[in-house]
């Protein structure tokens, strides 16, 4: 699902403070073994974290009261990568919502047989490097010294690594030295439209976000074109720690299968930018992990003392 605007997510936060009758019966009436969850700070963007924390704490309390299910979550609600890794290593965490960049160095701590990923319109997406169709930028090398606008969003977490790999494939060097300027924004419109209006030479955004811009303004589709595109990528997901076999695991899955059947669940989906969740194994992360591995090799090669050939 395309990242909604700040106002829709603020509405989601407000609505999440209401009742959750649509979730009744989704989890068992057993609070003896709490489900310990962490949510990475990387999963929210363009939202006031204080408001988001307050809403999530209220949501957790409603689940515990209405469903008689014990859920443990840090008082801050949203955790740093370091906190999630520490809790997982110490056996103090059962599940985490995170991105693939955070997951990669500690993947051995998680169960790779089942992860919860977005499906439907919030499923895998591509990155596009867009330029003006008749602006004289026909290949990556033409962008040397020019301005790039890039989208900052949870699902764009692999974008810097992907840009590094495509530039290296054409021996253009690191983005910081190749491009004239780089800017970031959380709004697709503020990333794409500067290229459309000639205020920037290129932009890096999601294919889905670009598609929405084209629907709103068909002229954008006519004037802009992609000179590079990534493979389909899964970047954000829920994962359980290795060897976690508590009944809460299945209850968690059943909760998400019914979550969108009511208005409150749909508001939660708006906050976290998903419209469907499905269970897959970690092979769905192969493309994202491959890009991150390649980018690490590029960084090592270009680092002082590294091979630069």
Report yes or no on 301 lying in a domain. no
Domain count of the chain? Answer: 2
223 and 266 in a single domain? The answer is no
12 and 116 in a single domain? The answer is yes
227 and 240 in a single domain? The answer is no
SS3 label, residue 230: coil
Residue 35 has pLDDT above 90, yes or no: no
18 and 54 in a single domain? The answer is yes
Long-range Cβ contact pairs of 294-302 (< 8 A, separation 24 or more): 294/161, 294/165, 294/168, 295/160, 295/161, 295/162, 295/164, 295/165, 298/164, 298/165, 298/168, 298/174, 299/164, 301/168, 302/168, 302/173, 302/174
Per-residue model confidence as pLDDT tens digits over 65-111: 655 556 777 766 688 899 999 988 888 899 898 999 999 999 999 99
Name residue 130's beta-bridge partners. Answer: 203, 226
Tell me which of 191, 216, 233 is where a domain ends. Answer: 233
What element of type H or E holds 98? strand 95-99
Residue with the larger pLDDT of the pair 181 and 52: 181
Domain range for 169 is: 127-233
76 and 29 in a single domain? The answer is yes
Residue 296 has pLDDT above 70, yes or no: yes
Q: What are phi and psi of 71, to 5 degrees?
A: -125, 130
48 and 142 in a single domain? The answer is no
| CA 284 from centroid of its chain's CA atoms | 14
Residue 181 has pLDDT above 50, yes or no: yes
52 and 95 in a single domain? The answer is yes
What element of type H or E holds 117? strand 110-118
Q: Let me know: does 57 contact 64? Beta carbons within 8 Å.
A: no
Report yes or no on 46 lying in a domain. yes
Predicted local distance difference test score (pLDDT) of residue 7: 46
66 and 193 in a single domain? The answer is no
11 and 69 in a single domain? The answer is yes
Report yes or no on 293 lying in a domain. no
146 and 68 in a single domain? The answer is no
Predicted local distance difference test score (pLDDT) of residue 12: 39
Looking at residue 156, which CATH number applies to its domain?
3.40.190.10
248 and 222 in a single domain? The answer is no
């Amino acid at each position: 699902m395309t990242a909604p605007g700040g106002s829709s997510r603020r509405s989601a936060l407000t609505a999440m403070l209401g009742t959750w009758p649509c979730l009744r019966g989704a989890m068992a009436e057993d609070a003896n073994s709490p489900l310990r969850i962490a949510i990475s700070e990387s999963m929210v963007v363009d939202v006031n974290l204080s408001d988001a924390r307050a809403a999530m704490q209220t949501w957790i309390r409603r689940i515990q009261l209405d469903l008689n299910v014990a859920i443990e979550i840090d008082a801050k609600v949203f955790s740093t990568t370091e906190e999630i890794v520490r809790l997982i290593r110490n056996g103090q965490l059962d599940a985490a919502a995170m991105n693939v960049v955070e997951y990669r160095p500690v993947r051995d701590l998680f169960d790779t047989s089942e992860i919860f990923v977005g499906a439907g319109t919030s499923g895998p997406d591509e990155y596009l490097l867009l330029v003006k169709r008749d602006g004289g930028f026909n290949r990556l090398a033409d962008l040397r010294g020019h301005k790039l606008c890039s989208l900052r969003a949870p699902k764009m977490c692999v974008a810097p690594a992907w840009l590094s790999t495509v530039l290296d494939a054409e021996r253009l060097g690191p983005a910081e030295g190749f491009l004239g300027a780089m800017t970031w924004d959380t709004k697709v419109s503020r990333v794409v439209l500067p290229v459309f209006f000639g205020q920037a030479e290129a932009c890096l955004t999601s294919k889905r976000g670009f598609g929405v811009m084209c629907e709103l303004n068909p002229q954008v589709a006519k004037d802009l074109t992609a000179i590079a595109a990534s493979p389909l990528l899964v970047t954000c997901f829920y994962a359980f720690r290795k060897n976690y076999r508590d009944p809460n695991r299945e209850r968690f899955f059943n909760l998400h299968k019914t979550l969108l059947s009511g208005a409150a669940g749909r508001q939660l989906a708006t906050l976290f930018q998903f419209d469907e969740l499905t269970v897959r194994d970690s092979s769905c992360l192969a493309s994202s992990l491959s890009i991150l591995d390649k980018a690490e090799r590029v960084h090592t090669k270009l680092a002082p003392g590294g091979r630069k050939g």
